[in-house]
Amino acid sequence: MDWLNENDEHSMDILRNAYNRDKSDNFPQTSEHTKFSNSVIDVFTQLNEALKLLKQMDCPNPEVYADMMKRFSKTLNKVLLAYADMVQKDFNKFVNDEKLACILMNNVQQLRF
């Protein structure tokens, strides 16, 4: 469970760094075909890697595995809510830029998947 606690802190660090980097770069779209920015990709990449590692541990005890997945789901919830909170706090600064406001809203929408 120590690894899951460390992953929680690491995931939040990745989130803050990705969001702040995106913010300083004015939330660029990942490509012309996507309507969200890089921070969403960074956050999901980290969370997916952590989940993959968790599954690779191949815990033989179903109760322990369930506890680990429950703990990971708390990290997932914490990171996604923190991202939405960061967008909410900054949204008024970008509301006059229609494209940027849409990218921020799309970021939150993308995190729902």
| Number of domains the chain contains | 1
Rounded to two decimals, what is the model's pTM? 0.87
Report the alpha-carbon distance of residue 11 to residue 77 in Å, rounded: 11
In a domain, 24, yes or no: no
Q: What is the pLDDT of residues 28-40, one digit of tens each?
A: 988 888 888 999 9
pLDDT at 1 over 80: no
In a domain, 94, yes or no: yes
Mean pLDDT of 55-83: 94
Mean pLDDT of 49-77: 94
In a domain, 41, yes or no: yes
Mapped to the 3 state alphabet, what secondary structure does 26-79 carry?
CCCECCCCCCCEHHHHHHHHHHHHHHHHHHHCCCCCHHHHHHHHHHHHHHHHHH
- Domain span at residue 43? 2-18+35-111
In a domain, 106, yes or no: yes
- pLDDT bin (cut points 50, 70, 90) of residue 24 is very high
